[in-house]
């Protein structure tokens, strides 16, 4: 037997249990989604049968039609899409500018200021929710898209992620651009941003998913169907004494589709961004 063949056999045998563990972990993570899909296709009496069955019998496709007709699902869908796209765009813009300042520019107190800025990550959202709500009411933004978008258009985590990536780009590129007469804004727009595709794609997925699935803040600042998002709209299927589980699960499946599409088309960039965002450091 050739040494290469023996090495390959040893490698496969040594990684067998690792692959088994990964497969079991994947099944465990996919099981809740499979149960959600199965419940969305069951009639109410089937949901609580014992022993429980993963396969609906019969399959009730009408649950999806009833879900769309039970509430203005199209309106909630458009609201969520508008808010998620707006928050993602603004957060990428504001975070990349701040990260460029902290990672590429030299000024007195930069590191101390960044540490103070980073320390705000330790403050839970629930602590700042009431002051933000009072400010929104003072500005008369309650039940408007301003309240849903503007307070979430800034993120310390996004600044930290982009700063780590920006610091991995050679400083010589900035110096060469400045010798050609480029300003700091032009360096940010034409040098740094085009080279940051992977981390920007990863951050876009993070922000879009977070905004799309956000429930607490939209629940606090929205009071009508004109501004309610999908997570808040789905909560209407839960009553004080009864919950329409089949409609709630059908609505959850519909709400999950944009998230899956975003990840499927950007998964390669997502993995690259996570891998490369910790590079460098000067």
What per-residue string of b and e applies to 157-166 under the rule 16 or more CB within 10 Å gives b?
ebbbbbbbbb
What is the DSSP track for 169-189? S-HHHHHHHHHTT--HHHHII
Please indicate, yes or no, if residue 272 is contained in any of the structural domains: yes
Asked if residue 228 and residue 143 are part of one domain, the reply reads yes
Print the domain residue range for 56.
1-60
Q: Are residues 101 and 223 in the same domain?
A: yes
DSSP 101-124: HHHH---TTHHHHHHHHHHGGGS-
- In this structure, the number of other CB atoms found within 10 A of the CB of residue 90 comes to 17
* Shared domain check, 121 and 12: no
Quick one: 44 and 107 in the same domain?
no
In this prediction, residue 120 carries a pLDDT of 87
Distance, CA of 53 to chain centre: 32
Does one domain contain both 23 and 131? Answer: no
Could you give the CA distance from residue 55 to residue 37 in angstroms, rounded to a whole number?
A: 10
In a domain, 16, yes or no: yes
Domain count, the chain: 2
Question: What distances in angstroms separate CA 43 from CA 188, 203, 244, one per listed residue?
Answer: 55, 39, 10
Q: Is there a cis peptide before residue 51, judged by omega within 30 degrees of 0?
A: yes
Distance CA 72, CA 170 (A): 51
Per-residue model confidence (pLDDT) at position 280? 42
* Residues 126, 3 within the same domain: no
> Looking at residue 85, what is its pLDDT?
93
52 and 82 assigned to the same domain: no
- From first to last of its 282 residues, the chain has per-residue pLDDT tens of 455 455 555 556 667 888 888 888 888 888 888 888 888 888 888 887 778 777 787 888 888 888 888 788 888 889 999 999 999 999 999 999 999 999 888 888 888 988 988 888 888 888 889 999 999 999 999 999 999 999 999 889 999 989 988 888 888 888 888 888 888 889 999 889 988 888 888 888 889 888 998 988 999 998 888 899 988 888 877 765 677 787 888 888 888 888 788 777 777 766 665 665 544 444
**Total H helices, total E strands in the chain:** 15, 0
Same domain, 172 and 220: yes
Residue 100 and residue 7 in one domain: no
Q: Name the token pair of 6.
A: 């023996």
> What pLDDT is stored for residue 83 in this prediction?
95
Same-domain status, 210 and 267: yes
Contacts of 277 (CB under 8 A, 6+ apart): 161, 164, 165, 199, 202
Rounded to the nearest 10 degrees, how much is the dihedral formed by the CA atoms of 129, 229, 212, 55?
A: 120
Whichever domain contains 166, its CATH number is 1.10.3720.10
* Alpha-helical segments (H) within 2-124: 3-14, 16-40, 44-47, 62-70, 73-104, 110-119
């Amino acid at each position: 037997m050739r040494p290469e063949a023996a090495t390959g056999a040893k490698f496969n045998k040594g990684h067998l249990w690792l692959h088994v563990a990964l497969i079991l972990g994947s099944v465990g993570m996919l099981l809740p989604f499979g149960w959600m899909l199965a419940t969305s296709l069951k009639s109410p009496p089937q949901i609580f049968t014992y022993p429980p069955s993963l396969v609906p019998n019969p399959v009730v496709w009408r649950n999806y039609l009833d879900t769309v007709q039970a509430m203005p699902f199209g309106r909630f869908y458009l609201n969520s899409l508008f808010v998620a796209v707006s928050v993602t765009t603004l957060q990428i813009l504001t975070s990349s500018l701040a990260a460029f300042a902290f990672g590429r520019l030299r000024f007195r107190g930069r590191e101390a200021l960044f540490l103070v800025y980073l320390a705000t990550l330790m403050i839970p959202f629930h602590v700042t929710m009431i002051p933000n709500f009072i400010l929104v009411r003072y500005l008369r933004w309650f039940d408007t898209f301003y309240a849903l978008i503007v307070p979430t258009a800034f993120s310390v985590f996004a600044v930290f992620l982009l700063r780590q990536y920006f610091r991995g780009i050679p400083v010589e590129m900035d110096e060469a651009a400045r010798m050609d007469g480029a300003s700091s804004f032009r360096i940010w727009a034409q040098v740094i941003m085009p080279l940051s595709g992977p981390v920007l794609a990863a951050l876009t997925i993070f922000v879009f998913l977070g905004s799309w699935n956000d429930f607490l803040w939209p629940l606090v600042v929205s009071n009508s169907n004109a501004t309610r998002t999908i997570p808040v709209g789905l909560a209407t299927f839960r009553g004080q004494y009864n919950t329409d589980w089949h409609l709630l699960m059908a609505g959850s499946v519909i709400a999950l589709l944009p998230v899956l599409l975003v990840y499927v088309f950007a998964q390669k960039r997502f993995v690259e961004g996570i891998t490369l965002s910790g590079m460098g450091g000067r």
